[in-house]
Chain A
Amino acid sequence: KQEVTQIPAALSVPEGENLVLNCSFTDSAIYNLQWFRQDPGKGLTSLLLIQSSQREQTSGRLNASLDKSSGRSTLYIAASQPGDSATYLCAALSNFGNEKLTFGTGTRLTIIP
């Protein structure tokens, strides 16, 4: 059974700093890994999707990497801004057919102005 872990649960950093969010998964037989952003009381916004055959994906100031062999993914945020404050969730798709994403419980990020 796939388990996804995100540590730390909360993180505060000063504005302008670069930061890394971590995600680990127990079953390396994943189909893809997706990073989401969730604002308080809001839905999930897809940030980046990495297919199992890929090593990384980039979108603007965001870069996500995937290392299947070690069961890890990281989300790198460059030059953080207060608007980046949100909860970041990673999710692994490991059983194609039921389209079930296994989610971590998220990292709540606060950017301090």
Chain B
Amino acid sequence: EAQVTQNPRYLITVTGKKLTVTCSQNMNHEYMSWYRQDPGLGLRQIYYSMNVEVTDKGDVPEGYKVSRKEKRNFPLILESPSPNQTSLYFCASTYLRTNEQFFGPGTRLTVL
């Protein structure tokens, strides 16, 4: 089944403790993105990647890092999480032919 997977789905952590949210897609898509969803603000892009080893900032990149060493994986790294990073995070990959985006199930992160 074609899909985008994320892990973990739920995470509660404390300020300053480094964490990684993994994202993987099995559709051989070049483009991948990370978004965060907050009440009243909608979804906002954090980082995107056009291909392996090519990443760039979205609208709200502060406090986040990403890497793209393989085509299928695009992990989101929070080196020193803070409470304002409490949010619902979505990974997405793009089918280049139509530019349709497919989203993962989301990761709900709480930083205490």
Contact = CB atoms under 8 A, between A and B. Distances in A.
A43 B58 contact: no
A43 B42 contact: no
Contact of B101 (A4, A41, A99, A106): A99
Interface in A34-79: 34, 36, 41-46, 49, 51
B103 interface: yes
A28 to B, nearest CB: 17
Contacts of A42: 105-106
Give chain A's interface residue range (CB within 8 Å of chain B). 20 to 34
B45 A100 contact: yes
B101 A46 contact: yes
Given A105-B42, A106-B42, A99 B106 contact: no
A42 B108 CA distance: 10
A6 to B, nearest CB: 9
Given A44-B90, A99-B94, A103-B43, 13 more contacts: A32-B99, A34-B100, A41-B108, A42-B106, A43-B105, A46-B101, A51-B98, A93-B101, A99-B101, A100-B48, A101-B43, A105-B40, A105-B41
Interface of B: 31, 33, 35, 40-45, 48, 50, 56, 58-59, 90, 92, 94, 98-106, 108
